[in-house]
Structure 1
Amino acid sequence: MKGYLLLISNVIILIYEVHGCPEKCLCHPPSKTVDCKNRGLVDIPSHLPSETQILLLQNNHIWRINQSAFTGAPWLKILELSNNSITSLASGAFQGLRYLQVLNLTKNLIHYVENKTFSSLPQLKELDLSSNRILSLPETLGKNTGNITLLSVKHNKLQKMERVLLESLPNLKVVLFKDNPWQCNCNVFGLKLWLESFLYRGGISDGIICSTPENRKGKDLLKVPYEMYGVCPATAAHVTLASFHHHTSEHRNSLKHAHHNEHGDSSHSDCEPKPKSRPVNLRHAIATVVITGVVCGIVCLMMLAAAVYGCAYAAITAKYHKEHLAPAIEQGSPEEKEPFDSSLA
């Protein structure tokens, strides 16, 4: 038995010598995990075992990711890089990780993300960018990021987010926005429309709380009425509104008419609300009028159908009497006519 255990230990040692385990890290072959957390590392460790699927690098001082950092671990599925000092992400930082599913980059110093950063991650499902210093995000996270189901950008410095970015993630189920200095002006109008549609489809979100302008500070973006955006330029509000199925054309025209009457200039730099905004329940009133009109139309159609049916029935009845009953009366028997004739005599 001792000889058997010795043989197994020698085999394990041989495996480590062949595949290698990074210095200061712990390798767990059964779970294919390399544990390098809390090691004071400043770079991604080299000589990672090629079969590694889980790499734990949190709580270090890593400040950059070279393009070839992970080429030695092509089967990686979970990459934990939280609580480091990463300031930026190069477009090829995750090159070769075509099987990566979970990427955690929370609690770093990232302030900018390029639009091709995650293009080499076609299987990515969870992307956590929370607790960084991100000022803005590109219009796309990459051409192969359609499988992302969870996106977290909370605790950053985002003031807006392009609607096209969120629309490029068709499988998104959870998106986290909180604790960002969101500007609830014309620039966030498209995001508001997308978020409403996302929640309607069953998506999960922690919501967007406005930071500016001052009169909307602390308010939930979803509760800011559409009428408050009546002063926005056509390209920012009315054109977007035209593509959203919840709003009727009459509503759009009324907002546009009010905008041109009360403001000679069609543009407004900070998109402040009008002094006398329309009531919040205007949409409900329009919906009520539309529904009432439809019901009245149906009732009128039913009455018209009944009238047509009555007229047709009367015409058929009259024709029947004319063709069958009248000849019978005119050709009656002499006995039936005799009392009438005798009375005349």
Structure 2
Amino acid sequence: MAGRTRELLAKPTLSCGHIIWTLSAMLAIQIASGCPTACTCYPKIKVVECRGRGLRDIPRQLQLNTLELYLEHNRIRILGSTAFRETPLLRVLNLANNSITTISTNTFQGLRGLLVLNLANNSIQDIDRHLFRPIRSLSDLNLSHNSISRLPATLPDSMHNLTRLSLRHNRLQKLHWMLLESLTKLQILSLHGNPWKCDCQLISLKLWLETFLFKGGIMDEIRCAQPGDLREEDLRNIPYKLFGSCLNISQRHPLAHLHHQATEHESPYSSGNRGGDSGCGAKQRARPPNLRHAIATVAITGVVCGLVCLMMLGAAVYGCTYAAVTARYQRDLRQAERVAPSSRQSSGEGKELRRDSTLSAAHAHACSASM
């Protein structure tokens, strides 16, 4: 009786355990292969789309193998340190057109394969100096239409593969050229729509931009907001003579020597003229040569030198050909002179032989007649 009771009690226990295990397995399968209710998932191409769903936070229960995540046009305000822990394989992350104001330092921790990051049209004011450090492979960064007033000096430390950078419509008034110089693979740069202050601190950036364009880089216009007399002027088109008082500051730039050559090699006639007109006003600085003019001068000089070298090469070829033809003519002439005497001698010997044979024939005929 006691054994029967134990058997009856054991059956419900086994059934409950089996049910619990089954439910746990089903839940795990749903979590592993499921999709957030506010998103649309495409498992075959590993893309999750959550555009315009009114989301206030990063959705959970995302698949671990997600490669592209689109979260634009939502209401996300804060990106916490664990926002993307469930998607370590992300390649494309689009967070444009949200209300992001705060980004944790560790938000992108673990996203070592991220290639494209779009944070445009948000309310970002400051960029932490360690924010992008975990992202070593980033090639496209869009920070346009925010309220960023400065970029951290450590930004290039993790941006060695960056080819495209957009900083349009922020609050940048200045930008150090060395920060951009460290982005060795940069190809496209967008800086339009910032309140640029075109003073002495921006002349080094102007020099770098001209070098960037000369190397084949692509960029948009940079309109000055200050000072008033340069308002709406494109920094790239402002003549260097307007930065005459900034030449000493720009000496730190590796190309600054191009803008000092005019003052170092001034004409003595111009010096005399300025000395005679010293009472007529302030001395006018010599206009520093433009980088493009300098490059054009070098190119023209190279072309002229090339033409001279071609002419010298042509003259050398002509001289060598003339010398070879003359030498051959002289050699043929000497051979002809050596052949001429021998031919004359052989012809003389032939005549003597013919004459002797004639005499012998005549003598033989006379002898036969006498007999």
- TM-superposed CA distance for 1:16, in Å, is 4.2
Cα distance per residue 1:20-63 (max 9 Å; x no partner): 32231121101101111111111111222101001010011101
Q: Distance in 1 between matches of 2:51 and 2:283?
A: 56
Aligned-pair Cα RMSD in Å: 3.5
Greater Rg over alpha carbons, structure: 2
Given the alignment of the two structures, is residue 144 of structure 1 paired with residue 144 of structure 2, yes or no?
no
- SS across alignment from 1:34: strand
The alignment covers a number of residue pairs equal to: 268
**Contact 2:262–2:286, Cα closer than 8 Å, also in 1:** no
**Contact 1:151–1:176, Cα closer than 8 Å, also in 2:** yes
Given the alignment of the two structures, is residue 238 of structure 1 paired with residue 281 of structure 2, yes or no?
no
**Which among 145, 168, 174 is matched to residue 154 of structure 1?**
168
Q: Distance in 2 between matches of 1:90 and 1:195?
A: 32
**Which among 178, 187, 203 is matched to residue 173 of structure 1?**
187
Given the alignment of the two structures, is residue 101 of structure 1 paired with residue 115 of structure 2, yes or no?
yes
Cα distance per residue 1:120-147 (max 9 Å; x no partner): 1111110000111111112232522110
**Which among 90, 98, 103 is matched to residue 104 of structure 2?**
90
**Which among 219, 231, 238 is matched to residue 205 of structure 1?**
219
Q: 1:91 to 1:281 in 2, by over 3 A?
A: same
**Gapped regions of structure 1 (runs ≥ 5):** 1-12, 256-273, 303-345
Q: TM-score, normalised by structure 2?
A: 0.64
Q: 1:172 to 1:163 in 2, by over 3 A?
A: same
**Which among 251, 257, 260 is matched to residue 262 of structure 2?**
251
Residue in 1 that maps onto 2:352: none
Structure number having the greater helix percentage = 2
Opposite residue 36 of structure 1, the aligned amino acid is C
Residue in 1 that maps onto 2:369: none
Cα distance per residue 1:134-165 (max 9 Å; x no partner): 11112232522110100000011111111121
Q: Distance in 2 between matches of 1:233 and 1:189?
A: 9
- SS across alignment from 1:114: coil
**Contact 1:118–1:142, Cα closer than 8 Å, also in 2:** no
Q: Distance in 1 between matches of 2:42 and 2:297?
A: 65
Q: Distance in 2 between matches of 1:212 and 1:83?
A: 29
Q: Distance in 1 between matches of 2:259 and 2:226?
A: 29
Tell me whether 193-202 or 134-143 shows the greater mean CA deviation: 134-143
Q: Distance in 2 between matches of 1:191 and 1:254?
A: 26
Q: Distance in 1 between matches of 2:294 and 2:179?
A: 34
Opposite residue 37 of structure 2, the aligned amino acid is E
Q: TM-score, normalised by structure 1?
A: 0.69
Q: 1:74 to 1:192 in 2, by over 3 A?
A: same
Residue in 1 that maps onto 2:144: 130
**Which among 28, 31, 34 is matched to residue 48 of structure 2?**
34
Q: 1:167 to 1:285 in 2, by over 3 A?
A: closer
Opposite residue 250 of structure 2, the aligned amino acid is A
Tell me whether 139-148 or 44-53 shows the greater mean CA deviation: 139-148
Tell me whether 86-95 or 160-169 shows the greater mean CA deviation: 86-95
Opposite residue 112 of structure 1, the aligned amino acid is D
Q: Distance in 2 between matches of 1:239 and 1:17?
A: 58
**Contact 1:228–1:277, Cα closer than 8 Å, also in 2:** no
**What does 1:1-345 correspond to in 2, within 5 Å?**
16-232=30-246, 234=248, 236-240=249-253, 243-244=254-255, 247=258, 249-251=260-262, 253=264, 276=284, 278-279=286-287
- SS across alignment from 2:72: coil
**Contact 2:156–2:179, Cα closer than 8 Å, also in 1:** no
**Contact 1:58–1:80, Cα closer than 8 Å, also in 2:** yes
Q: Distance in 2 between matches of 1:208 and 1:102?
A: 25
Q: 1:41 to 1:248 in 2, by over 3 A?
A: closer
- SS across alignment from 2:210: helix
Cα distance per residue 1:304-344 (max 9 Å; x no partner): xxxxxxxxxxxxxxxxxxxxxxxxxxxxxxxxxxxxxxxxx
Q: Distance in 2 between matches of 1:18 and 1:282?
A: 62
Q: 1:285 to 1:204 in 2, by over 3 A?
A: closer
